[in-house]
Structure 1
C-alpha cells in the first residue's frame, strides 16, 4: 500500500538516508529536509585549503549481518574502502604500537561520499531547519526557521540527534520523553595541517590521560589527497564538556599542544588549522529501541541514539523505522 501523501524525513545522516532508501525501494514517496548545506550529519566532511577533512566519524565497523552485506555493496560501488592504519595507543605518557584485527571502513574519497551516494536523486531541501512538526485533520505539516510551511505529509520520520528530536516530537509526548532521556556528549574536533610530513609512524591513535581521545592521519586513509600532512584530533567528551564555549582559536592552541606531547616527534606550528564543535557527537549510553514509533499518529524517530551510538546503529535504526512504517501501511 502506498501512503496518501509523501513521507517527510528530517535529517540526512546515515539513519535518515537508510530509512529513505528503504521506503523509496518499497515504492513510497519521500521528501528529505536538512538544516545543513549537504548530507552526512556526523559523517560529513569539510572542504578546506588543506583538502577534504573527515571531522566527524573517523571510520566505522560492521558486525550485524545486514550491515555487513550493505557495506560490501558500498565497497563494490566504490563508496567505501578498508582502512588499515598503523595504530598506536597513548597511556601514562607513553606511546606504544597497538595493532588489532578490527576491519575499519571509511568513505572514499571522503566520509561524506557514503551519504552523498545514498541520497542519489531523492528530493531534498538543504539549509532548511525544521522547527515544528504539527498535524492537521488528516496530514502532517512542517514549519521551518524562516516561517515557511511544508506539506502535506502522510508520516514524519525524525532522524536528528536526540535533543533536537525531542523538540520535534512534541505531538507524541511518550516519544518526546524517550528522546529527552538520552544524554548526548559533545566533542571538539581540530584539524592540523603541516607543510612537511611529521616524522612518525602513527596513523591512528587511541589516547588516554589527555585532553585528546583520538588522533588520525588523514593521508593514511584510501583516496585522500596529500596536499599537506593533515591530522584530525578529537578531544575527549570530558574535556569538550569543560571547554564547550572556549573560543576556537584557544581550542586549536590547547589541542595542538596536547597533540605535540603525545605524537613522539617534533611538531611545528601548523600551516593550516580549524576547529569544529560537535554538540551532539555521541549518545552517552546505548539503547535497544531500534526506532521510536507512534504508528497511529504516523510519527517516528530513528538515529544512532536508538541503538549503539555507532554508524552501524544509525543505519540499522533507519531500517527499523522504515519496517515499522511499512508494516502499518499494510
Structure 2
C-alpha cells in the first residue's frame, strides 16, 4: 500500500530517504525553503558560471555508498576530481598529494540532487515552520500560513538547529537535535580575467583566516571563461566575523588568499560571498538517524553521522529503513 510521507529538506539526506522510499513504492512529497535542491551541495549560478560554494567534493568509503557513486558516474552525474593538492601552514605552501579518491558533481555539485529529484513531487521556496499531528495524521504549516497534508509519516532532513524546532512533537528527538553544535563558514568566490600563475588547484590551509581554497577550472565540466576560485574561511574566523558585511568578508579573505598563494593576485573581476550558518557539525555522532517510530517522526542529516556528504546519504538511508520497518 502506498503511504504518503513528507520529507522536509532536499539536501543529500532528504533525497537519499526519498529515493529509497519511492523505490519501495511509497508516495513522497518533498519541501524545501530554498529555490533549488542540494542543501550544502547546492551550486550558485553567477556571471562567472556555476560555483560550488558549499561542499567542494565528496569521498566514498562505505561499500553501499561506493556502489551508489559508481551508479552516478555511469549516468554522467559525477566525475573524479584529481587536483594538484597543496598544504599551507604559517604562510608556507607545500605540495601535498594523497591517495584519496575525490568526486564532484558535473557540471556542478547540484547536478546530483537535480537528477535524483527528477519526477519527484517537490515544493521549493516553501519554508516549513511547524510539524503538528492530528488524531491520525501529520500536517505541515509553512511560513505563509498554508497547511500541507495529511501525511502518515514525516522525515525532517534539515540542519540540526532547524530540525530541533520541527521535531517539537517528539521532545527526545528535538533535544538530541538541539544538542548538536553546527559551525558556520563564510565562503567567497573570486574570478580573474587572466589565470593566476600558480600550480595550486586545491589547498588545505592552517594558521590563516582561510581553511580551504579550490580552483574551479580544475574540476571536470566547469566553465573556464574566468579563472574562478572558491575560498572557505575557517570555522573560528567565521564565528568571529559572523555578522561582517559581504564586502568586508571578500576584502579580508581576498587579502589572506593573496598572502598565501605565492603569486601576484590582482583585484578580481568578479566576486561574491555566501554565509553558511550551519556548515558542519562540530563533532561527529553515531546516531544514523533519529526516530520516534510510534509517532511516525524521523530526522536525518550529516549531523547524525560523520558530517560528510557520505554521512548525509547514509543517514537518509537509515531513516527510510527504520520508517519502512514500522509500516
What TM-score comes out, normalization by structure 2 length? 1.00
Distance 2:55 2:169 in 1: 32
Residue in 1 that maps onto 2:2: 2
Query: Mapping of 1:22-41 within 5 angstroms?
Result: 22-41=20-39
Query: Mapping of 1:1-330 within 5 angstroms?
Result: 1-3=1-3, 6-329=4-327
Q: Secondary structure at the match of 1:225?
A: coil
Distance 1:92 1:252 in 2: 21
Shift of 1:307: 0.2
Distance 2:241 2:89 in 1: 22
Distance 1:302 1:50 in 2: 34
1:68-97 deviation per Cα after TM superposition (whole angstroms, max 9, x unaligned): 000000000000000000000000221010
**Which runs of 4 or more aligned residues in structure 1 lie more than 4 Å from their structure 2 counterparts after TM superposition?**
none
- What is the total number of aligned residue pairs between the two structures? 327
1:220-242 deviation per Cα after TM superposition (whole angstroms, max 9, x unaligned): 00000111000000000000000
Distance 2:119 2:260 in 1: 44
1:52-71 deviation per Cα after TM superposition (whole angstroms, max 9, x unaligned): 00000000000000000000
Distance 2:90 2:187 in 1: 23
- Structure 2 gaps of 5+ residues are none
1:110-150 deviation per Cα after TM superposition (whole angstroms, max 9, x unaligned): 00001101111100000000000000000000000000000
Q: Secondary structure at the match of 1:131?
A: strand
Distance 2:291 2:88 in 1: 43
Q: Secondary structure at the match of 1:253?
A: helix
Distance 1:212 1:154 in 2: 45
RMSD across aligned positions (CA): 0.5
Distance 1:247 1:124 in 2: 33
Shift of 1:2: 3.5
Distance 2:91 2:36 in 1: 40
Distance 1:57 1:125 in 2: 23
Q: Secondary structure at the match of 1:78?
A: coil
Distance 1:45 1:227 in 2: 17
Distance 2:71 2:91 in 1: 42
Q: Secondary structure at the match of 1:200?
A: coil
Q: Secondary structure at the match of 1:166?
A: helix
Q: Secondary structure at the match of 2:207?
A: coil
